[in-house]
Chain A
Amino acid sequence: MLIAVMADIHANREAFEACLSHARTHGAQRWIFLGDHVNYGADPEWVVETIMAYVSRGAVALLGNHDAAVAERRPAMDGPARTAMEWTRVQLGAAHRGFLAGLPLTFQQQDTLFVHADATAPRKWNYVTDPYDAARSLKATDCRISICGHVHKPATYNLSDTGHMTTFQPITGAPVPLLRQRRWLAVLGSVGQPRDGNPAASYAMLDKERNELTYFRVPYDIDTAAAKIREAGLPDVLAERLRWGQ
């Protein structure tokens, strides 16, 4: 079973479409969206409707902090995120907001936990940015594998049975073998707003049979996505950062 896992789409239609198409071509059979589907980008309505359609066909979508902020005005946001959040709320209808508000915080399938941020307290939206965060998050679950987003920078961590953490920067297209006597935490990159210096959209494919996780980078039409953000009157920085992946 090949599971396409996508995090932090952030209403970037061009990036999302490119990743969906890439994953289909690579044989994805299941779809899991780790949250922060909206905010920042110019296509919240299209993105939410697309995710609703996928969910109606068996995909899983989780709640991210930006989804919660748009749906419930919690957590509170500042600066460009707040401006974009207010704009996004207006774009979405009650049905869209209701869909977002009703999303679960976690999803567990066999030995794998999917969650938007740190699993310790999913509603607190803590970042997993180093081995200590990763060890804490792994402690909060019995699952052998955890997959999260929220950071917008890809990384994998693993914990040996003697308690050693190993950090690894995944290489595009090179499968990471999820060795069974270790516990793994994979932080995905962002589909719609990469921040690791590589502007290409990022997602990963989990191969349950081969027990491997492969990170992909997918080029997309950044110019169009950025132009739409500017046309919508959203803060310019949200358009500009797409170009640099920062």
Chain B
Amino acid sequence: MVDGFVIGELIHDRGMSIIRKASRPDIAIPMLIKVPSLLEGEDPAAIVSFEMELMILPRLVGVHVPKFVAAGEFPDHPYIVMEHIAGHSLLTLLDRLPLPYAEVAAIGVKVATALHDLHSQLVIHLDVKPSNVMIRDNGEAAMIDFGLAHHEQLPDLMHEQFRVPYGTAPYMAPEQVLGNRCDRRSDLFALGVLLYFFSTGIRPFGDPKGKRALHQRLWRDPVPPRKLRPDYPPWLQEIVLRCLEVDPARRHPTAAQLAFDLYHSDQVKLTARSERLERDPWSAVIRRRFNPEEAPSVLKRAVASQISAAPIVAVAIDLAEGSEALAEALRTTVKRMGEIVPGARFACLNVLKQHRIELDRTLDDEGQNKHLKRLIELKHWAQPLAMDENRLTFHVLEAVDPASAILEYARANPVDQIVLGARRDSALRNILGSVSGEVVAKAPCTVTVVRPPRVLDGAS
């Protein structure tokens, strides 16, 4: 018994820590107690990684991490008590590999969403692998074990103390191999390894032993998944190989954008990556190996600034007749935002209203498919933006209530900002209520309400 906690069954005893079940009469949730391995001759990193977790875990909140309960410090009894997450670890899926593509994508969405939450809390996990991902009984992913993590506002004891990189060899990002612990896109690389492994049954870089073997991923690209499984979907190969880019700048800029792509697989912009059937020829590998110009950029940038530099903006566009001025005002706003924040991505939404009672006809009077028509109109709206098509996606949401549909979309996708127009016709607004008003009141993020410039008449 430690500080009132009754110590129970052994869960895990290997590597850097020992984990047992714990309970205390006054705390209802199931708990785990973690203590560092302090045996003589043990890795000194065990203590340092314990200290890191001791600092980081109490600062994290939300469903994507185990809830912190209590901690004891050195020298008396170092321990951390945390929630014992009810669910299963991704490790339990290993004997079923390779998994169906849709299941891999669904897992990817969950993990990327959890990583986005962590990154938003200024933490980079740096040890993303199946055993560190728990899927809660409600289906959400939670990241566990912050012993190798980096917190932007806390001293990085791992970095200062150990100049050699720490991580798990099959999953470590190239920049992490080089000792950079400050790039959150390292987590996207590790997730890419996991997705590759889960969809093919093979680890893209094997399980290298030793520094030399570990460095190979800096210049040797993995076998394209399509070579391993001929039916591999191009969109999934596009996403997975993008995660595995050596240069972090060529990966998805944020975990949120990765989740977005995995979720909207039909909207993934396919590049040459998706087509590849062979690895790069040796000439290219040798050039990368010996040409310093080809070295990946491992520039240090703050986590928070990386996230804010690549936001997802949902733009709700009203395509009804008479809304041209508003549509133009929205376009002006989006154009400005796009210029100021070159990493921003815009999800253009239009709500196709469904009638509450009658079964909706999917064809309009002229026999056109309404959904498709709206999609074409949305693209037409965006055309004058002259924006790179990688930055735009289009979504027609079918719903009874437009405000709820927009809000639901913003919650389901990690949207950073919603842009929408204010309805001008006050009579209509009085009857229907204001969509923008409701979105402003309930949105989980920043909302910008756009109005067309008012035309002043002589009387006023």
Interface residues of A (CB under 8 A from B): 156, 158, 160, 162, 164-168, 171, 174, 176-177, 179-182
Interface residues of B (CB under 8 A from A): 44, 47-48, 51, 54-55, 73-75, 78, 152-157, 160-161
Partner of B54, one of A165, A168, A179: A179
Partner of A180, one of B73, B152, B154, B161: B73
Q: Take A158-B155, A174-B153 as given contacts and tell me if A181 and B160 are in contact as well, using a CB distance cutoff of 8 Å.
A: no
B155 contacts A166, CB within 8 Å? Answer: yes
Q: How far apart are the CA atoms of A164 and B55 in the complex, in Å?
A: 18
Closest CB of chain A to B399's CB: distance in Å? 41
Q: How far apart are the CA atoms of A158 and B55 in the complex, in Å?
A: 14
B153 contacts A156, CB within 8 Å? Answer: no
Closest CB of chain A to B56's CB: distance in Å? 10
Q: How far apart are the CA atoms of A231 and B378 in the complex, in Å?
A: 65
A160 contacts B157, CB within 8 Å? Answer: yes
Q: How far apart are the CA atoms of A160 and B160 in the complex, in Å?
A: 11
A166 contacts B153, CB within 8 Å? Answer: no
Q: Which 6 A-B pairs have the closest CB atoms?
A: A181-B74, A174-B153, A168-B155, A166-B160, A180-B73, A171-B153
19 sampled A-B residue pairs with Cβ under 8 A:
A156-B155, A160-B48, A160-B161, A162-B44, A164-B160, A166-B157, A167-B160, A168-B154, A168-B155, A168-B156, A171-B152, A174-B153, A179-B54, A179-B55, A179-B73, A179-B74, A180-B74, A181-B73, A181-B75
A164 contacts B161, CB within 8 Å? Answer: yes
> Which residues from B are CB-within-8-Å of A162?
44, 161
Closest CB of chain A to B148's CB: distance in Å? 16
Residue of B nearest to A156 (CB): B155
> Which residues from A are CB-within-8-Å of B55?
177, 179
> Which residues from A are CB-within-8-Å of B51?
179, 181-182
* Apart from A166-B157, A177-B154: 11 A-B pairs, beta carbons within 8 A: A156-B155, A162-B44, A166-B155, A168-B155, A176-B155, A179-B51, A179-B54, A181-B73, A181-B74, A181-B78, A182-B51
Q: How far apart are the CA atoms of A164 and B157 in the complex, in Å?
A: 9
Q: How far apart are the CA atoms of A62 and B18 in the complex, in Å?
A: 46
Residue of A nearest to B55 (CB): A177
Residue of B nearest to A211 (CB): B73
B154 contacts A176, CB within 8 Å? Answer: yes
Residue of A nearest to B47 (CB): A181
Closest CB of chain A to B223's CB: distance in Å? 41
Closest CB of chain A to B302's CB: distance in Å? 10
> Which residues from B are CB-within-8-Å of A180?
73-75
> Which residues from B are CB-within-8-Å of A174?
153-154
Q: How far apart are the CA atoms of A224 and B406 in the complex, in Å?
A: 50
Closest CB of chain B to A12's CB: distance in Å? 28
Q: How far apart are the CA atoms of A180 and B77 in the complex, in Å?
A: 11
Q: How far apart are the CA atoms of A180 and B78 in the complex, in Å?
A: 10
Residue of A nearest to B76 (CB): A180
Q: How far apart are the CA atoms of A174 and B55 in the complex, in Å?
A: 12
Residue of B nearest to A166 (CB): B160
> Which residues from A are CB-within-8-Å of B155?
156, 158, 166, 168, 176
Q: Take A179-B54, A180-B73 as given contacts and tell me if A166 and B161 are in contact as well, using a CB distance cutoff of 8 Å.
A: yes
Q: How far apart are the CA atoms of A219 and B187 in the complex, in Å?
A: 37
> Which residues from A are CB-within-8-Å of B48?
160
Residue of A nearest to B157 (CB): A166
Closest CB of chain B to A92's CB: distance in Å? 41
Closest CB of chain B to A163's CB: distance in Å? 10
Closest CB of chain A to B157's CB: distance in Å? 6
Q: How far apart are the CA atoms of A179 and B157 in the complex, in Å?
A: 11
Closest CB of chain A to B16's CB: distance in Å? 15
> Which residues from A are CB-within-8-Å of B152?
171
Q: How far apart are the CA atoms of A171 and B154 in the complex, in Å?
A: 8
> Which residues from B are CB-within-8-Å of A167?
160
**Of listed B73, B153, B161, residue having the most chain A CB within 10 A:** B153
> Which residues from A are CB-within-8-Å of B161?
160, 162, 164, 166
Residue of A nearest to B73 (CB): A180
Q: How far apart are the CA atoms of A156 and B73 in the complex, in Å?
A: 20
Residue of A nearest to B160 (CB): A166
Closest CB of chain B to A130's CB: distance in Å? 13
> Which residues from A are CB-within-8-Å of B47?
181
Q: How far apart are the CA atoms of A243 and B74 in the complex, in Å?
A: 44
Closest CB of chain B to A224's CB: distance in Å? 32
Q: How far apart are the CA atoms of A190 and B55 in the complex, in Å?
A: 27
> Which residues from A are CB-within-8-Å of B153?
171, 174
Closest CB of chain A to B364's CB: distance in Å? 56
Closest CB of chain A to B145's CB: distance in Å? 19
Closest CB of chain A to B305's CB: distance in Å? 13
Q: How far apart are the CA atoms of A165 and B160 in the complex, in Å?
A: 8
Q: How far apart are the CA atoms of A164 and B162 in the complex, in Å?
A: 9
> Which residues from B are CB-within-8-Å of A165?
160
Q: How far apart are the CA atoms of A54 and B74 in the complex, in Å?
A: 36
Q: How far apart are the CA atoms of A158 and B152 in the complex, in Å?
A: 17
Q: How far apart are the CA atoms of A160 and B73 in the complex, in Å?
A: 14
> Which residues from B are CB-within-8-Å of A156?
155
Q: How far apart are the CA atoms of A176 and B55 in the complex, in Å?
A: 9
**Of listed B75, B155, B157, residue having the most chain A CB within 10 A:** B155
Closest CB of chain A to B108's CB: distance in Å? 32
Q: How far apart are the CA atoms of A164 and B47 in the complex, in Å?
A: 13
> Which residues from A are CB-within-8-Å of B160?
164-167
Closest CB of chain A to B41's CB: distance in Å? 14
Closest CB of chain B to A166's CB: distance in Å? 4
Q: How far apart are the CA atoms of A165 and B159 in the complex, in Å?
A: 11
> Which residues from B are CB-within-8-Å of A182?
51
> Which residues from A are CB-within-8-Å of B74?
179-181
